[in-house]
Each structure stands twice: as C-alpha cells, then as structure tokens.
Amino acid sequence: MSNRLAALTLNVTNPDTLAEFYCRILGMRRFERDGYIAVGYGNDGAVLVLKPVDDRAPYQHSTTDRYWKIGLTLPDIDCAHAQLKAHGISASEPHQFRDIGYLSHFADPEGHIIELVQHTFEGETKITAGDPVLPLGGSAEIGLVTLRTDNIEKEIDRCEAALGLKSLVREQVSDLGFDLYFLGRPGDTPPDPDPDALINRSWLYQRPYTVLEFQHIKRKTEILAPMPGQKGYSGITVERTGTDKENFV
C-alpha cells in the first residue's frame, strides 16, 4: 500500500449521533478504528475517527485554528446540494470560487465544517450526473483534509521527508492572504509539472484517496494547535508503506 493519509480524529460530544448523520445523510459507512467509532467511504480514502470527550461545550471553529475542514469530492454538487436542502441542512449555494473550484459549504451537527468540491469547474461537463436516489448523488469521497500553517516550507519538508507524501499542486490566492498546497501519494504525477497549472485542479479533485491540504496563512498570525481533550480536531494519521504509521497534529 502506498503512503496515505489514513485518518482524521475529531473529539466530539456524541460519536453515535454524529456517525448516524455521516452515514444517513452523507452516505458513509461505519467502522471501528483503535477502539473508537469511525466513518468513511471505504476504498483508499481517510476515515473520520470520532473520539468522545467530556467537554460538553459546543464546538466553535476559529479562523486561527490549526484545523479547518474536510472536503468531500464528488461529481455533481448541484444534486448533492438539493439533497442537503431537502434534509433541512443549510448549505451555501454552489458557486465557482475563482479558478479554485465549484464549491459549497455546510456544517455537521457538532459544528465541523464540510466543503463539497465538484470534480469539475462550473460550466464544464460533469464526470457523471448525480443519482438523486444515492446520498449526495453518489461517488463522494473524503477527498481533502485541510490544516492551516504559517510555515509551509517546514510542513512540506516534514510531509515529504518524514511522512513520505509528495507535494502535488499549489493554488495561489495571495490577495486574500493565503495560498493552498496539496500533498498526496508519492507515485502520483499531475498532468502539468507546473504546480500552479489550471489543468491540475480538476485532476486533484478526482484523486481516489484523501489529499492533505495546507492553507498557508501569509500574514503574521498565531495558528492555534489543539489542546488535549479539547473539542474538535485532535490530529491526523499517515500510514506508510508496510505497517508504519505516524500521528501528528
């Protein structure tokens, strides 16, 4: 098995209730990992490990948090958005965000941000039309896990040297104060060797595994690492070829 991002651990109030949401609404399956409830789509994508904690306060995301979101990649956001709306879930209208992607955002019942990312840009031919009978129209994957950093060189060095991941694509949004960097399997090669090439973006959103994304904050800021037992993000697990794995925050 190639090196891969295997798990994202979230500290939550009620793992059973949250797992039911991810399975019933988003079409994931329930697993067990390291003695905890986990959910995911199977295949080579990461799973979400839902770890119970005593903290009963509501989770509140901040733009200075180390963890930002997961991205569910799928072929038809319009179909997925219609389903979410029918379930009474408030999701932003699908929209093309610059030359980054065709996106929508919502939150799970405990407040964790979820991004929908279509395989193709708005106006381009969809890989396939969504099936309204299937959750989110079918073929969804946990395509992205997004962390924040103020030192992208250090992050890339660690991910490539220690974790065996490979820097694949960069998306520059410098006027908004950040750039996006994406790391995946070492054997994967984008269509264009230029990391900023537009053609690489749809290719990126069609990877059959979970890509690690960093939002590099370019202004001077303090990125807040999670505290032990705190609600929300706890860490990720990267599995290396063979049996080795490494957990880090």
Q: Is 94's pLDDT higher than 90?
A: yes
Q: How confident is the model at residue 243 (pLDDT cuts 50, 70, 90)?
A: low
pLDDT, averaged across the chain: 94
Give the whole-angstrom CA distance, residue 33 versus residue 58: 25
| pLDDT greater than 60 at residue 90 | yes
Does position 220 have pLDDT exceeding 90, yes or no?
no
Q: What's residue 65's pLDDT?
A: 95
pLDDT tens digits, one per residue of 35-68 = 999 999 988 899 999 999 987 788 899 999 999 9
Confidence (pTM) = 0.95
Q: Tens digits of per-residue pLDDT, 16-41?
A: 999 999 999 999 999 999 999 999 99
Each residue of 122-140: pLDDT tens digit? 999 999 999 999 999 999 9
User: By the 8 A CB rule, do 46 and 145 touch?
Assistant: yes
**Sign of the dihedral defined by the CA atoms of residues 113, 119, 125, 127, in that order:** negative
* Cβ neighbour number for residue 56 with a 10 Å cutoff: 8
C-alpha–C-alpha distance, residues 167 and 155, integer Å: 10
**Confidence class of residue 73 from pLDDT cuts 50, 70 and 90?**
very high
